[in-house]
Amino acid sequence: MADKPRIKLPKEAKKGEIIQIKTLVSHLMESGQRKDAQGKPIPRKIINKFTCEFNGKPVFSCVLEPAISANPYIQFDARVDEEGTFKFAWTDDDGSVLTAEEKIALKA
């Protein structure tokens, strides 16, 4: 699948604050519509699902389609009511899943 994803979010936030989360993962995202040098179709291989949870509760998810560019960048907002851990998962067509975690603390 891909290399280690890049994730950007604050290390801490005030209780109830809405933060911005940015993710970028390296992946070719082959749509399955192109052909190789011999004229044979190149099989589709894309990240087809992205999910984010905070302390085990769903925060954001999306289904990705072949039209998404290589190295998909995803940005979304989340409200932080407690300190905890964001868990991210990217699922590939072949069933492999790339995961990452980032912690956030509450400001005093």
pLDDT tens for residues 31-89?
A: 989 999 999 999 999 999 999 999 999 999 999 998 889 999 999 999 999 999 999 99
- Looking at domain 6-106, what is its CATH homologous superfamily? Immunoglobulins (2.60.40.10)
**Residue 108, pLDDT above cutoff 90:** no
| pLDDT level of residue 20 (50, 70, 90 thresholds) | very high
- Whose tokens are 């280690």? That residue is 4
Q: The pTM is what? A: 0.91
pLDDT average, residue stretch 13-35: 95
* DSSP-derived 3-state class of residue 107: coil
pLDDT for the residue 67: 87
Q: Are the C-beta atoms of 76 and 86 separated by less than 8 Å?
A: no
Residue 44, CB half-sphere, CA atoms under 13 Å: how many?
Answer: 14
- Whose tokens are 């809405």? That residue is 18
